[in-house]
């Protein structure tokens, strides 16, 4: 396929990624705050706050602004990362299907998901580092020796000046190692749901870019996102801690990599800690993946139609 054949995918992904993030960003902030809690940081016998309790605390002490910390960099660079993500997925999937015509479809979907994540992490990792450090720092400076980010530009310049490019890309391989499996599972689940729907709909079902009605894409994206989120939560938790440690919140978990982080967390906090924030992660990814995929399919089809390709 020619590069211009992916124009609907590129435009559709940019629009859908932005629209899906706006209503769900507060859930991402809650997830980040919950995942940076440690057993050692709480009083003996104290339980970590629930998502609802934390939501109330943030709303009371920081207001709506606290829940939307880090949104600026997400809206600025996020659309470009989404273009790399979806275009990388579809391009890799199509290439793999041509190269391996007899292979199971799930193999192409899993592999393409991994490739798409590795490509898009070039932009997603800086976005995550900046966004997450702003999300976990709270409403006021934590004290001497820490950097309090007052905005997106300040966060970018502070991280780069203090830690260099390595700081901006902190946790790159951990991100690939955590979101790679997430993307692989997500696309495999989504494509399986799509195939099941189209098979049930029969040969007369439309085979355009959207292929499914909006509600079917919404449900397929939601179920795929929820399942992939639960299965990869431990990886995401360590990834987030790697990216925020020594950051604006003054956190240092002593993690040096994904595997070492998993082992240390299990030893210090127990296996149960690996699912910390899983509920808010599912609550965030379920609507985000549902909305983004349904809007992606719809926008992609609309762009293709306007370009005379449907």
Per-residue pLDDT of 258-275, as tens digits, reads 999 999 999 999 888 899
pLDDT of 68-98, one tens digit each? 999 999 999 999 999 999 999 999 999 999 9
3-state secondary structure of 26: helix
pLDDT of 104-117, one tens digit each? 989 999 999 999 99
310 within a domain of the structure (yes/no): no
First CA to last CA distance, the chain? 16
179 within a domain of the structure (yes/no): yes
Please state the φ and ψ torsions of residue 189, each to the nearest 5 degrees: -65, -45
Tokens of 258: 């994904």
Contacting residues for 214 by C-beta, under 8 A, at least 6 apart: 294, 297, 298
Res 148: pLDDT? 86
91-101: string of b/e by CB count within 10 Å (b at 16+)?
Answer: bbbeebeeeee
Say if residue 247's pLDDT is above 70: no
Say if residue 207's pLDDT is above 50: no
86 within a domain of the structure (yes/no): yes
Res 16: pLDDT? 87
Question: What is residue 38's DSSP assignment?
Answer: -
26 within a domain of the structure (yes/no): yes
Over residues 232-249, the mean pLDDT reads: 82
> Shortest CA distance to 297 belongs to which of 194, 179, 205?
194
Res 2: pLDDT? 56
Integer Cα distance of 250 and 246 in angstroms? 5
Task: Name the pLDDT band for 299 (thresholds 50, 70, 90).
Answer: confident
The sign of the CA dihedral 245, 256, 35, 23 is positive
65 within a domain of the structure (yes/no): yes
Say if residue 124's pLDDT is above 50: yes
43 within a domain of the structure (yes/no): no
92 within a domain of the structure (yes/no): yes
Say if residue 249's pLDDT is above 60: no
181 within a domain of the structure (yes/no): yes
Mean pLDDT of the chain: 86
Chain centre distance of CA 148: 24
Domain interval for residue 172: 3-38+48-305
Res 248: pLDDT? 47
The count of domains in the chain is 1
Task: Name the pLDDT band for 42 (thresholds 50, 70, 90).
Answer: low
CATH number, domain containing residue 196: 1.50.40.10
Res 82: pLDDT? 93
> Shortest CA distance to 124 belongs to which of 166, 165, 179, 69?
179
Res 143: pLDDT? 56
pLDDT of 5-33, one tens digit each? 788 888 889 888 888 889 999 999 999 99
Res 20: pLDDT? 87
């Amino acid at each position: 396929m020619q590069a211009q054949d992916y124009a609907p995918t590129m435009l559709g992904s940019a629009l859908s990624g932005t629209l899906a993030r706006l209503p769900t960003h507060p859930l991402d902030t809650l997830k980040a705050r919950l995942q940076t809690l440690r057993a050692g940081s709480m009083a003996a016998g104290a339980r970590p706050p629930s998502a609802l309790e934390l939501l109330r605390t943030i709303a009371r002490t920081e207001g709506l602004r606290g829940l939307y910390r880090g949104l600026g960099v997400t809206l600025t660079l996020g659309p470009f990362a989404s273009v790399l993500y979806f275009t990388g997925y579809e391009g890799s999937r199509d290439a793999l299907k041509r190269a391996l015509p007899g292979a199971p479809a799930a193999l192409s979907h899993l592999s393409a998901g991994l490739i798409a994540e590795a490509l898009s992490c070039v932009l997603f990792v800086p976005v995550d580092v900046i966004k997450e450090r702003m999300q976990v720092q709270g409403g006021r400076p934590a004290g001497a020796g820490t950097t309090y980010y007052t905005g997106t530009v300040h966060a970018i310049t502070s991280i780069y000046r203090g830690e260099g490019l390595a700081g901006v890309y902190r946790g790159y391989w951990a991100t690939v190692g955590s979101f790679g499996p997430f993307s692989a599972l997500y696309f495999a689940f989504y494509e399986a749901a799509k195939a099941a729907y189209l098979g049930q709909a029969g040969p007369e079902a439309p085979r355009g870019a959207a292929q499914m009605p909006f509600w079917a894409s919404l449900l397929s994206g939601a179920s795929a996102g929820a399942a992939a989120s639960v299965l990869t939560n431990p990886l995401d938790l360590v990834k987030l801690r790697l990216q925020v440690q020594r950051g604006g919140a003054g956190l240092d978990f002593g993690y040096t990599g994904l595997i070492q982080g998993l082992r240390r967390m299990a030893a210090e906090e127990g296996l149960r800690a690996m699912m910390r924030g899983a509920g808010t992660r599912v609550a965030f990814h379920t609507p985000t993946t549902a909305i983004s995929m349904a809007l992606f399919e719809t926008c992609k089809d609309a762009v293709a139609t306007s370009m005379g390709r449907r």
